[in-house]
Amino acid sequence: MNRKSRLYVLFALVLGVLVLAVAPMAQAQTDDDASTPYAATDDEQWRPKENFWWLFAAYGVIWVALLGYVGRMASKQQQLERELRHLQRES
Amino acid sequence: MSMTNRVLLGLSTVGMLALCWMLMTIPREAAQGFVQKIFYVHVPVAWVAFLAFGVTGYNGLRYLMTRDLKHDRIAAASAEVGVVFITLVLITGPLWAKPIWGIYWTWDLRLTTSFILWLLYLAYLILRRSVGDRDRRAQLSAVVGLISFLDVPIVYFANRVKASQHPAPVVGGGEDSGLAPEFLATLLIGVFAFTVTYVLLLRLRHQQSRIEDQIEELHLQRS
């Protein structure tokens, strides 16, 4: 693994450690969750099922778009490699 | 696939699985219910878009200083990945807005500046396709990339300096802001997962750009 690759891996690991370090700190952040804009609820009566489809659509779009982009990139990569091999053979 | 890319793919997969696990296990938010869970992808995807445009601006500047085409390739690759992410921000935002606000879109400052950001980087990509000469393309792109980045802090501060339909910031937004601990942990896992995914996509796109440059070079030699 070259120096640059090691830097990328180091960056990813630092980010991971940061997440793991901040998460427990967040536990002690506040006891008064109800006063925060986004607070958890245990109210089982609150079941807006119609909203589930918006959630499904948002997550669906994310995964489809990312997988589509990766798929497009993979097919372009194959095409470019073919073209490069062809040009190298000719020159 | 190189070892680094495999490691990044592994980290990305673990991050995404952890995010999915958290999404299934965390409680529903008190006011919005299920639909608030869009927050855990909407915000990380926006963060990644900002990061991507920052990388484009930085590498544009480095290109102008060094004239090394490597920086131009990184800037272009990052802009393309950034456009994918900002597009996702502009899609997931309205999908969240409709059930909460009753409308998909409103021309308030945060939303409008985000839309302008999308247009700016779309223009950046179109510009790259329309200029034939490699050095001139790199030079123009670097300038456009740097100027376009000025919109990123405007988007970020838009709902901090002016009351907006868009919710006030919940992280680093002052006294009334804040997240329940389990929500913050989920958000951070989302940020981690999408950031690693961005780095992986950037590396793959950059490797592809190198091949494109080799092809362009061979075409130039032949003509």
HSE-up (13 A, CA, CB side) for residue B194: 31
| Nearest-CB residue to B36 (from A8, A18, A38) | A38
Which residues from A are below 8 Å from B54, CB to CB?
A: none
Mean pLDDT of A49-63: 84
Residue A3 has φ and ψ, to the nearest 5°, of -60, -40
CB contact under 8 A, A55 and B42: no
Q: Which residue has the tokens 């490691």?
A: B7
Q: CA B15 to CA A15: how far, in whole Å?
A: 11
ipTM, 2 decimals?
Answer: 0.85
Confidence at residue B223, expressed as pLDDT on a 0 to 100 scale: 74
Confidence at residue A90, expressed as pLDDT on a 0 to 100 scale: 82
When the pLDDT of each residue in chain A is averaged and rounded to a whole number, the result is: 69
Residue B29 has φ and ψ, to the nearest 5°, of -75, 145
Q: Is B27 touching A (CB cutoff 8 A)?
A: yes
Return the residue in B3, B26, B28 with the most chain A beta carbons within 10 A, the one to mutate for interface testing.
B28
In chain B, which residue ranges form alpha helices assigned H by DSSP? 3-25, 39-66, 69-101, 109-130, 134-149, 151-161, 181-222
Does residue A43 carry a pLDDT above 70?
no
The 10s digit of each residue's pLDDT in B153-199 is 999 988 887 777 777 777 666 666 677 888 888 999 999 999 999 99
Question: Searching chain A, which residue's CA lies closest to the CA of residue B216?
Answer: A84
Q: Is B192 touching A (CB cutoff 8 A)?
A: yes
Does residue B27 carry a pLDDT above 90?
no
Which residues from B are below 8 Å from A77, CB to CB?
A: 204, 207-208, 211
CB contact under 8 A, A41 and B29: yes
Check if the beta carbon of residue B81 is closer than 8 Å to that of residue B156: no
Check if the beta carbon of residue B8 is closer than 8 Å to that of residue B207: no
Residue A38 has φ and ψ, to the nearest 5°, of -110, 95
Question: Searching chain A, which residue's CA lies closest to the CA of residue B222?
Answer: A91
Residue in B136, B109, B135, B46 with CA at minimum distance from that of residue B82: B46
Does residue B143 carry a pLDDT above 90?
yes
The 10s digit of each residue's pLDDT in B58-85 is 999 999 999 999 999 999 999 999 999 9
Confidence at residue B169, expressed as pLDDT on a 0 to 100 scale: 72
CB contact under 8 A, A61 and B95: yes
How close A20 gets to chain B, by Cα (Å)?
8
Check if the beta carbon of residue B159 is closer than 8 Å to that of residue B167: yes
Residue in B101, B109, B114 with CA at minimum distance from that of residue B35: B101
* Residue B65: both structure tokens together: 């200083």
Return the residue in B73, B171, B184 with the most chain A beta carbons within 10 A, the one to mutate for interface testing.
B184
User: Predicted confidence band at A7 (pLDDT cuts at 50, 70, 90)?
Assistant: low
Does residue A23 carry a pLDDT above 50?
no
Listed by start position, the domains of chain A span: 3-30+52-90
Confidence at residue A49, expressed as pLDDT on a 0 to 100 scale: 61
Burial (CB count within 10 angstroms: exposed 0-12, middle 13-18, buried 19+), residue B60: buried
CB contact under 8 A, B185 and A65: no
Q: CA A57 to CA B37: how far, in whole Å?
A: 12
Task: Give the distance from CA A32 to its chain's centroid.
Answer: 30
Confidence at residue A42, expressed as pLDDT on a 0 to 100 scale: 52
When the pLDDT of each residue in chain B is averaged and rounded to a whole number, the result is: 90
More confident residue, B63 or B24: B63
Confidence at residue A34, expressed as pLDDT on a 0 to 100 scale: 42
What is the percentage of chain B residues whose pLDDT exceeds 90?
Answer: 65
Check if the beta carbon of residue B96 is closer than 8 Å to that of residue A54: yes
Check if the beta carbon of residue B140 is closer than 8 Å to that of residue B124: no
Confidence at residue A8, expressed as pLDDT on a 0 to 100 scale: 65
